[in-house]
Structure 1
Amino acid sequence: MRALCFVAMGDSLTAGIGDPTEEGWRGWAALLAAGLAAREGEARFHNLAVSGAQTGDVLNRQLPEALKLRPDLVSVIVGVNDTLRCTFDIQAVAARLDTAYGAATRQGAQLLTACLPDPGAMLGLPGALARPLARRQRAVNAVVHALSERYDAVHLHLAEDEWVADRALWSADRLHPGERGHRLVAARFHGLLAARGIAAGSPPSCEPQLPSPSRSASLLWLATAGTGWMARRCTDLLPQLLTLAADEVRHQVRGSSARLDLSATHAVRSALAALTATERPDAA
């Protein structure tokens, strides 16, 4: 019998950032892969996710490699990095996700997706800075929700207040889950897959096996890698984010903030309406 093949695509969340082991970053996808089959050797796992990846990277770089592997199970969790770029375009994001989802499912793979919390809330940014990012992430999540239903994906909701507010689930950078958070994601996906008869192995434990990083280790990370990350984002996003924040304040003063939300909602509807109709894999 052919071993079940699981291919993970996406950004730093799927690459395992925040869940360090002696061999390197592990993450939810690797934890899930270990519980897919009842016996060792009955499942293969390939992680193509790359830190910093955007939807365009998944479509143009990761997807061709994934399709070559003829996967039975494919995860596509991406979009946060798109919201952190001055080039953000929800119509382009929707088109790329639709193409990636469609290509994977047409090959017969079961799709895994997730909606994600907005980075502004995670970083605790001031309201005028946080609201534009939240609006963008809500737009991405709305697209992911709609396309997940279209392609019958196993979809996980990771934007709930409970998930976001529990600091024990998050690493020092406040953007990536720690080991406990990655384990929770893996366990929740395992439960959904088991309900569909796909995951036959034992679910991953939700309890961490490694001690949480010390405060000094967390501060060291923030002072080194974290500072570099912020510097890279500031040069790309900050100028536009300041413009968005100024626009936010102007609308707030005028009492017309609702227009920004309505505009974002209209953009999502237009993006979904613009997608080329693609026949569902199970449609005949």
Structure 2
Amino acid sequence: MRTELISEPGDPARPNEDFAALALPASGQGGTLVVLDGVTPPPDGYGCLHSVPWFCTRLGGALTELSLSHRDLTLPEVLSRAILRTAEAHATTCDLSHPRTPQATVVLARWARDVVEYLILSDSALLAEAPDGTVTALLDDRLTRLPRARLATDAIVDATVRNKEGGFFTAAADPSVAERAVAGELPRAAVRALTALTDGATRWTERFHEGDWADLFTFVRKEGAAALVERVRVLETADREQGAHPGRGKAHDDATAVYVEL
């Protein structure tokens, strides 16, 4: 099995708000991957004593443990329990009802001998490659379908549509959001490899148009996950003022890519 994982902050002076994990059970049967993209909080506060990396570390750790040790749970059930566990860790000290309480996008995949399960919440991405090379993009595209969403900053989007009906959803403190995730399963024989990416890495396709999802997958398989992030950084730097590719919000974003051949 070949696996690769890279997670790089957009700004070396700021902590990385992404989380990534790859785990294989002691039985040697199957495995799981977790990728989170923490939502950067506003400068005027968000009702919590803890940082977004603190939140993502705890939520990501709970997702990793629960998806491995509780195979009887569906992935939405795993996400629900992980959100509840994380919320309980700071419910007595923080205002979890604040609309910008720490939160994250989620990609969760779990594979066994016969099946590959997946779950996506918000705008991180999971790509699945079939044995014949066909690449399927498993996405939660609600954010991209919002008017002006791809050109708006987080602050503008948050004010109206985050975690609201008709908008889009992230994992925060409400376990019921797991029901909003895009979830399903594929036959194990139909999946040769997986790539999970935060939107800092999907910029290669979604912002800079270097190729489609299949091209991105091929690039990662041939050149490596680190090469993908390096290429994104080159493109970001070349268009620092966002004249050619506007609407990025941050000139450089945290970027995470996980690749696994099953």
Q: TM-score, normalised by structure 1?
A: 0.26
Higher strand proportion: 2
More helix by share: 1
Higher relative contact order (CA 8 A, sep 6+): 2
